[in-house]
């Protein structure tokens, strides 16, 4: 907790405030007046405290790496005997027996694999990967070699044995966990810009203070030495008093130059937006991520679960009306399809925690078939229970099909069902007999191949179905029945993980805002490209230069990769380290990168990006490594977060315009007053009200401005841009100079022949000074636009409250402040005159904005 709190002091403006507080404290002990110092320290504690509270509160919602139970028992072969040991005791060289449903406890090389399928979604995003020890069947495009299995992945089908080659932190998931918790040193764009601002304020404040100190000390010492002989200790006391007097004046200049309200404004703006973004399904863990989203130039997005629904679904079934249907009833084909899917399967459906939703247990492809059947109102379990299984061949990577022989509860006959790779199933079939005539298998195969090619080009998985009605006197062995090659082809289905409905529009929204999108996935190049095409990312103009595999990317030198990273749109077969390297290379090119992901494999990239966006249904490791969690798993929420971030940055700029105008005026009043030899017309307590309370209120007011969709028409700002733009600079200096001229005119008007001002006149000056800033707050609210200051005011509840608070506070201070604030009550007429004349600031601003609206309409 204390480390998290101390991090808040890394804010560049807070550092400048700390220096000002030290100088102010020195003067406070000399003058025995601690109000200004207390005000600065209070501003520091408030800004750091708010930031700490909101981040600590968000961090409590997460728990790192809580999913793995190291006490789980695994079966190993040691000294020729099978033993069960805790997962934590597995060592390199152990032989581990792998069974369906078990989590693999270490990285290893397969010694034996029978129909072995592994869920690698934790590392690659792929739910089903076939594993084998047969080199001839190795998938050359696979993210990890076909004979290697990784810790944290799960066996979904088959069984085998592996030899452990890596354990603990040396495993792939161990590297991921370590990289996901590394401290990223990449500064946020806002911090970069605030550092520049703090340096500028520090240089200006200290330069003016030192120059003023040297000029006045030199002048007074010259006159003192010219008029007095340096003799005795009292002379040195007089010189010390001269030096101390101008040292105090220099410190006052520094304190006035430093905007105490700025870090508080930034913190309040971030904290308020952090809470308000929660309503748009963006749970923000790290406050600066609110604003950094507005600066991002590239989004590296995962595919599975982010762009797609992470739920395999039957897309387009093609079953055929067979000749037998005319003999055995019109629903014969339908009965065959329903029973074939129900009994020729090892998957199950169960109720999920969500009301009315079903989820599957088993192979995702088989689950998709059962869910499709359920959507048709057919109970797979009832059909399965009515049928008696005689013999079964489970799916294997070698056979590429599954077969089940049953006493059918649907047709009352003995039926063999087979499903698998369409080309394999079709090769086992005799001529296809349709209800409207006979077609040779040769001619029909061409039609099926064309259909399959269409599906595969759309990055869909395909399954073929066939059946055979078996006579009672025939062999009851599935292998023999299938080998006869006289099955009846029943049809094909295409299965896909469909894209989320809102993704194409969200991608287009981000692209129109000047943000590049890159898909980084563990899936095949074909599937990744098809998904990119469906969401509008991949176009006819794109070439091979715009996509790459993880293996090919790893082979590129940093120089070659740097030259190509901006052009890349797709990285397929990507490993966790590939994604992280892509992020870091993009950052080297000056990009501000956001990464989205839901799996453990995404955690290193989520951690090292300027903004990591995890999915609400993602793993705990991914959430811990991220800055923002998208509670609705929607890519559309990313566009919303960008809009909030850009709007927030503009609000911070508006506050800087408002704040620095006050500081510009106050600094020059002190400076000119010092040259004129007059006392500061504002007391320390009055300045405390202006610099602290009013700044806090202004921060609340400007932070409460609702986000605007218009900001999505802008291009991302450059991270090295200075936060004070030319229009801001002209506004601060222009408006500040006008205010200064008016206020100095008041001083001259109120100053009597003896060079003094009455308390009544000083009260009018103080009130007029505050009211100028009050009306300027309305102008600052719409700075950078041509909108009226009153537009959307009813939606800015913070602004309405601040208006009342400032007016009420100023009235109370003037009417009841007395000696503490050096004020005396003003009559009604005086209040009306001050408010009416100072309001010209707003009305002149309104006229200028009206003229601009008419010109640029």
The residues that bridge with 234 in the sheet, in sequence order, are none
The backbone region for 453, taken as left when phi is positive above 0, alpha when psi lies in -120 to 50, beta otherwise, is alpha
Sign, Cα dihedral of 527, 531, 533, 534: positive
CA atoms within 13 A on the CB side of 348: 5
Q: Do 626 and 614 meet the contact criterion of CB atoms below 8 Å apart?
A: yes
Q: Which of 302, 598, 627, 695 is catalytic?
A: 302
Q: Do 679 and 754 meet the contact criterion of CB atoms below 8 Å apart?
A: no
Give dist(CA 125, CA 636) in Å, integer.
21
Q: Do 343 and 390 meet the contact criterion of CB atoms below 8 Å apart?
A: no
Q: How far apart are the first and last CA of the chain?
A: 53
Q: Residue 488, SS3? A: strand
Collect all residues with Cβ–Cβ distance below 8 Å to 320 and sequence separation of at least 6. 333, 432, 434, 489, 490, 491
Would you report the helix, strand and coil content of the chain in percent, each value rounded to 5? 55, 15, 30
Q: Angle 111-157-97 (CA atoms, 0-180°, nearest 5)?
A: 35
Q: Angle 14-15-16 (CA atoms, 0-180°, nearest 5)?
A: 90
**3-state SS, one letter per residue, for 162-191:** EEEEECHHHCHHHHHHHHHCCCCCCCCHHH
User: Please, what's the b/e burial string for 531-566 (b: 16 or more CB within 10 A of its CB; e: otherwise)?
Assistant: bbbbbebbeeebeeebbbbbbebeebeeeebeeebe
Give dist(CA 162, CA 95) in Å, integer.
6
Give dist(CA 50, CA 46) in Å, integer.
6
Residue of 297, 307, 302, 714 lying closest to 504 (CA atoms): 307
Residue of 102, 106, 107, 105 lying closest to 117 (CA atoms): 102
**302 among known catalytic residues:** yes
User: Please, what's the b/e burial string for 787-825 (b: 16 or more CB within 10 A of its CB; e: otherwise)?
Assistant: eebeeebeebebbeebbebbeeebeebbeebeeebbbbe
Q: Give 613-636 as a DSSP string.
A: EEETTS-HHHHHH-SEEETT--TH
Write out the catalytic residue numbers. 302
């Amino acid at each position: 907790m204390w480390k998290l709190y101390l991090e808040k002091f890394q804010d560049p403006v807070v550092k400048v405030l700390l220096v000002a507080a030290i100088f102010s404290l020195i003067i406070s002990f000399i003058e025995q007046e601690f109000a200004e110092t207390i005000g600065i320290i209070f501003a520091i504690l408030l800004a750091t405290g708010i930031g700490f509270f909101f981040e600590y509160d968000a961090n409590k919602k997460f728990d790192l790496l809580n999913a793995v139970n190291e006490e789980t028992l695994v079966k190993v072969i040691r000294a020729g005997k099978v033993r069960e040991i805790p997962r934590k005791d597995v060592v390199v060289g152990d032989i581990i027996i792998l069974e369906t449903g078990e989590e693999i406890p270490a990285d290893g090389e397969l010694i034996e694999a029978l129909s072995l399928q592994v869920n690698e979604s934790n590392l690659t995003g792929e739910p089903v990967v076939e594993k084998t020890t047969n080199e001839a069947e190795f998938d050359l495009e696979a993210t990890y070699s076909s004979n290697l299995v990784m810790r944290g992945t799960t066996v979904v089908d088959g069984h085998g044995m592996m030899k452990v080659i890596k354990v603990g932190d040396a495993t792939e998931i161990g590297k991921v966990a370590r990289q996901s918790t590394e401290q990223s040193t990449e500064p946020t764009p806002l911090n970069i810009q605030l550092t520049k601002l703090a340096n500028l304020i520090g240089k200006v404040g200290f330069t003016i203070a030192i120059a003023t100190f040297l000029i006045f000390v030199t002048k007074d010492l010259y006159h003192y030495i010219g008029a007095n002989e340096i003799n005795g200790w009292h002379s040195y006391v007089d010189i010390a008093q001269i030096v101390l007097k101008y040292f105090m004046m220099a410190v006052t200049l520094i304190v006035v130059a430093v905007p105490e309200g700025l870090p508080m404004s930034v913190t309040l703006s971030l904290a308020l937006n952090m809470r308000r973004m929660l309503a748009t399904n963006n749970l923000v863990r790290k406050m600066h991520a609110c604003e950094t989203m507005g600066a991002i130039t590239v989004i590296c997005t995962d595919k599975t679960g982010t762009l797609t629904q992470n739920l395999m679904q039957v897309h387009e079934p093609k079953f055929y009306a067979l000749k037998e249907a005319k003999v055995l009833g019109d629903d014969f084909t339908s009965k065959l399809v329903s029973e074939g899917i129900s009994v020729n399967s090892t998957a199950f459906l169960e109720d999920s925690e969500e009301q009315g939703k079903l989820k599957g247990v088993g192979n995702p492809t088989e689950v998709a078939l059962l869910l499709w059947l359920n959507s048709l109102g057919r109970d797979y379990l009832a059909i399965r229970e009515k049928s008696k299984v005689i013999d079964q061949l489970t799916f294997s990577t070698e056979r590429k099909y599954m077969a089940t022989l049953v006493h059918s509860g649907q047709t009352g006959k003995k039926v063999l069902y087979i499903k698998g790779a369409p080309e394999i199933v079709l090769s086992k079939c005799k001529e296809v007999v349709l209800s409207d005539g006979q077609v040779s298998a040769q001619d029909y195969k061409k039609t099926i191949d064309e259909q399959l090619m269409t599906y595969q080009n759309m990055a869909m998985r395909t399954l073929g179905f066939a059946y055979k009605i078996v006579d009672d006197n025939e062999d009851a062995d599935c292998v023999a029945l299938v080998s006869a090659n006289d099955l009846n082809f029943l049809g094909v289905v295409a299965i896909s993980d469909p894209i989320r409905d809102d993704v194409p529009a969200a991608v287009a929204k981000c692209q129109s805002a000047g943000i590049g999108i890159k898909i980084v996935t563990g899936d095949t190049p074909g599937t990744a490209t098809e998904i990119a095409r469906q969401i509008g990312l991949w176009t006819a103009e794109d070439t091979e230069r715009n996509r790459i595999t993880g293996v090919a990317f790893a082979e590129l030198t940093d120089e070659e990769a740097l030259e190509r990273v901006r052009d890349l749109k797709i990285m397929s077969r990507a490993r966790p380290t590939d994604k992280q390297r892509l992020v870091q290379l993009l950052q080297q090119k000056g990009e501000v990168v956001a990464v989205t992901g839901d799996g453990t494999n995404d955690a290193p990239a989520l951690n090292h990006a300027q903004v990591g966006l995890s999915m609400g249904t993602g793993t705990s490791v991914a959430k811990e490594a991220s800055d923002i969690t998208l509670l609705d798993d929607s890519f559309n929420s990313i566009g919303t977060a960008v809009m909030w971030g850009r709007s927030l940055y503009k609000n911070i700029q508006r506050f800087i315009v408002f704040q620095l105008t006050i500081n510009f005026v106050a600094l020059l009043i002190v400076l000119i007053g010092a040259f004129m030899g007059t006392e500061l017309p504002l007391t320390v307590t009055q300045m405390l009200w202006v610099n602290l309370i009013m700044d806090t209120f202004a921060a609340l007011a400007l932070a409460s401005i609702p986000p605007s969709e218009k900001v999505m028409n802008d291009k991302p700002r450059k991270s090295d841009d200075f936060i004070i733009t030319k229009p801001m600079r002209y506004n601060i200096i222009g408006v500040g100079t006008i205010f200064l001229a008016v206020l100095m005119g008041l001083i001259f008007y109120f100053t009597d022949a003896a060079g003094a001002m009455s308390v009544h006149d000083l009260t009018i000056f103080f009130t007029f000074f505050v009211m100028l800033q009050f009306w300027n707050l309305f102008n600052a609210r719409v700075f950078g636009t041509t909108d009226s200051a009153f537009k959307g005011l009813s939606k800015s509840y913070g602004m309405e409250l601040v208006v009342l608070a400032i007016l009420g506070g100023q009235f109370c201070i003037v009417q009841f402040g007395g000696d503490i604030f050096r004020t005396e009550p003003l009559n009604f007429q005086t209040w009306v005159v001050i408010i009416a004349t100072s309001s010209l600031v707003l009305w002149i601003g309104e006229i200028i904005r009206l003229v601009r609206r008419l010109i640029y309409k």
